[in-house]
Amino acid sequence: MTTAVAAPFRFFALQVVRTRRLGPSLARVTFAGPDLRAFHSDGLDQSLSLFLPHPGQSEPAVPVELGEGWWQGWRELPDDVRAVMRSYTLRGLRRDDEGHTAEIDVDFVLHGLEPDPGIQAGPAARWAAGAAPGDRVLLLGPAVADNRAIRFRPPEDTDLVVIWGDETAVPAACAIVEALPAGTRARVWLQVPHAEDAQNLRTAADAEITWLVGDDTDGPEGTLATLRAAQLPPAERPYVWIAGESGCVKRLRRHFVGERGVDRRRVTFVGYWRRGLTEEQLREQG
């Protein structure tokens, strides 16, 4: 049983239908279920909240029967019972012959499971690495196509789209690039841990895509140096979308606004995570 939260968002009970490894540090999980008929999104960087079970649980523990009180009820559950909650972006959506959502794709970064020493795998990465058809999850997502969890909104007069994202923003950035219409000029930088994580993107746009791999950038300062050295095509009304680690995102926003003179109202910046903090710690601070 699922219960509506506050429109335009609601819970969706879903099951894994298939998985696919995209590279050493990226995995795609495809979900389906009858609830998806009510899933609506026209966003290219649609944010979602995914609730995952702990090992040994057949489904995630979220008290959806409490209606609008689910959040407090979920917070009060024991740590080893309460479903793991993580934020993701929608990577792909497919509809059935009647136009209803039939499947959605979510790409997971496998931190700590990739061949990098010194990184401890989190519960979502461990779950994604072992996900199998039939596994059950709960999704808090959009019931209305145009909703506040969509951030990529270039003005109609945009004459250049500039995109930067680290590995956590790659799914959203790739969805954006693939959907850009013909004639759109775009300059894109995507940062991934390994060369094998780079993806071949098909887009009708006039897009120049640069994959920054591993040591190509040395932390936020290295990323900033890379962007400072980049030549952008001339544009009068550029739009910039930056997403990833919050500290790096803030530095890059200052660069585009302060150093390149982009109107701050035409810069979208989203911190998907913060260095040194878990998502639980970040949520407590927020």
| pTM of the predicted protein model | 0.89
Residue 257 has pLDDT above 90, yes or no: yes
The pLDDT of residue 207: 97
Q: In this structure, what is the dihedral angle of CA atoms 84, 44, 33, 135, given to the nearest 10 degrees?
A: -40
pLDDT digits 0-9 by tens, 159-169: 999 999 999 99
The pLDDT of residue 130: 94
The pLDDT of residue 79: 95
User: In the block, which residue shows the tokens 């099951």?
Assistant: 15
The pLDDT of residue 157: 97
Contacts of 269 (CB under 8 A, 6+ apart): 241, 242, 243, 249, 250, 252, 253
161: buried, middle or exposed (CB in 10 Å: 19+, 13-18, 0-12)? buried
- State the chain's mean pLDDT as an integer: 90
Question: In the predicted model, what is the mean pLDDT of residues 26-54?
Answer: 96
Question: In the predicted model, what is the mean pLDDT of residues 27-51?
Answer: 96
Rounded CA separation 198/213 (Å): 8
Question: In the predicted model, what is the mean pLDDT of residues 53-80?
Answer: 96
Max CA separation in the chain (angstroms): 56
Residue 23 has pLDDT above 90, yes or no: yes
The pLDDT of residue 5: 45
Rounded CA separation 42/255 (Å): 30
Residue 158 has pLDDT above 90, yes or no: yes
CA gyration radius, the chain: 19
Task: Give the pLDDT band (50/70/90) at residue 1.
Answer: very low
Contacts of 12 (CB under 8 A, 6+ apart): 2, 33, 35, 36, 38, 39, 138, 139, 140, 141
Containing H/E element for 73? helix 70-76
Question: In the predicted model, what is the mean pLDDT of residues 264-282?
Answer: 78
Of 19, 9, 42, the C-alpha closest to 138 is 9
Residue 89 has pLDDT above 80, yes or no: yes
How far from chain centre, in Å, is Cα 4? 23
Task: Give the pLDDT band (50/70/90) at residue 220.
Answer: confident
Of these ranges, 12-16, 96-100, 211-215, 245-249, the one predicted with the greatest mean pLDDT is 12-16
